[in-house]
Chain A
């Protein structure tokens, strides 16, 4: 049975994201849309309490999506979204702790998993959820962190990979193939699950299961770049959008 509630919230977050990028001039689009259902499940799925548990966004360019979710979760006033990337706004172009509800500032890829692992070690009674991307796994530091989390058996650490098959300049397969990411994580000693990153019920179940693990957890969420705006889906040119036109805006809203 489809999870109507989460689906409805995710739709609202996508609409707010598009409003936000239209009103502020632009920003990252494809990734925030592919990871929106994951973020919605995290913040509205009643699995974690991020006033105590920790969420670390490693891929800082997904900021706009997280801001939209945090505004809907009432961490701050939704009216602030239109000020995204403006001089006096706390909504920085890459995710920042200036924003209420954000625990880690990032933008340079590959660093968040280490930070999350350190936090998981220091605050072992809480869950630490990290969101990375498939392209980000080209950074070597990710694999240093993967070794570390395995050595220290960080069962409270969950790495969700937003696996949308694209990065800024094209498809991940062309630029630097990850081949079988799941088997790599298995080899590194992690518990690995692959899931449809747009299926709320499955995401909810896997996240609940992952909370009880003795080993670090990797959830490979297969997603669609630009999910929800059908005419930009799987098109890497929409990694980000500059100066969104009224035509694009209206068309995108009707698709959502």
Chain B
């Protein structure tokens, strides 16, 4: 399995796009190296706007630039943007319909050693609650590239969630990304597993272990990288078939994808068992690997296997 960086994929893709699209601007808050934007800044100094560690102003600058006709990527860690500047995003970007793409890196427990302040577990909740905001959480570096290309052509406010560590590439390069569409990464018959971001790789690891049992439990794995708008049709179709749903995400349970799909299923009167694996109302903490943290917070591979065995009964 190839390990690659979503951040490197983002920086490289955006720099390439900016070569032919002169309207692409980056508004940064002193994290250009972390977002792999050094090359962008060197090649396009007039289109790389450095705001310093002032994320509220950066969001406002991005909105104003967007209103002058630019496609603006606002870059920082998600624990600062959208965490510090949420109300600027609400008023200056969403309410004013500014063409700004908020790129928040270092989301979730994958920030490992940095600890609670830099493990942003609330960004989906913050962003999905805003009118006019679209929310995307790519599964790997391949999908990151595809989403960035789509976003560079859209005129809508959007949030793109990235992580710190390198992660396994699992997205089929031949498949295109479409806003509002999920991909069934693996077909299955017993349990629907939905999630977003690199944590979904664990569903494949779980399936590999479940395969050793006879008879084995078969998971249908759905990548909900387009969190908002959500692909209601694909999720409902799968859940109607399996009658069992596990949502796994590297995010707080409160306000995450799991609440969205639970609400969706209840609203559609579908009979379905449901388990939500997410961080349960707690702060993160430092560790050397994210696997260690995933086990500690109950969202690791073993937790997913246990959940599968429980829900199948």
Query: Which of A's residues lie within 8 Å of B, judged by CB?
Result: 97, 103-108, 111-123, 140-141, 144-145, 147-148, 152
Known contacts: A122-B67, A141-B56. The answer to whether A148 contacts B91 by CB under 8 A is no
Question: Which secondary structure dominates where chain A touches chain B?
Answer: helix
Q: Assess whether B57 is in contact with A122, with CB atoms less than 8 Å apart.
A: no
User: B96 within 8 Å of A by Cβ?
Assistant: yes
Chain B nearest CB from A101 CB (Å) reads 15
* A135, B250: Cα distance in complex, Å: 41
Are A111 and B52 in contact, with the CB atoms below 8 A? no
Instruction: Give residues 24-67 of B contacting A (CB, 8 Å).
Output: 25, 27, 49, 51-52, 54, 56-57, 59-67
Whether B95 and A105, one on each chain, are in contact in the complex, defined by CB atoms closer than 8 angstroms, is yes
**Cβ of B69 to closest chain A Cβ, rounded Å:** 7
Instruction: Bits for B269-294, please: 1 = Cβ < 8 Å to A, else 0.
Output: 00000000000000000000000000
**Cα(A147)–Cα(B57), bound, Å:** 10
Find out whether the CB atom of A148 lies under 8 angstroms from the CB atom of B92: no
Expressed in whole angstroms, the Cα–Cα distance for A252 and B59 within the complex equals 42
CA distance A106 to B61 in the complex (A): 15
Report the minimum CB–CB distance from B91 to chain A (whole Å): 5
CA distance A122 to B66 in the complex (A): 8
Question: Cβ of B51: which chain A residues have Cβ within 8 Å of it?
Answer: 144, 148
The answer to whether the Cβ of B106 comes within 8 Å of any Cβ in the partner chain is no
Bound-state Cα–Cα, A104 to B68, Å: 12
Known A-B contacts A121-B49, A141-B56; A104 and B96 likewise in contact (beta carbons under 8 Å): yes
Is residue B164 within 8 Å, beta carbon to beta carbon, of the partner chain?
no
* B118 at the A interface (CB under 8 A): no
CB-defined contacts of B63 to chain A, threshold 8 Å: 114-115, 118
Whether a CB of chain A sits under 8 angstroms from the CB of B87 is: yes
Quick check: A148 and B57 within 8 Å, CB to CB? yes
Q: Is B88 part of the contact surface with A, judged by Cβ < 8 Å?
A: yes
Cα-based distance from A106 to B93 in the complex (angstroms) = 11
From known contacts A122-B69, A148-B51, infer whether A114 and B64 are also in contact, taking CB-CB under 8 Å: yes
Residue B70 at the A interface, CB < 8 A? yes
Chain A: minimal CB distance from B250 (Å): 30
- Measured CB to CB, the closest approach of chain B to A50, in angstroms, equals 14
Let me know if A147 and B96 touch, CB within 8 A: no
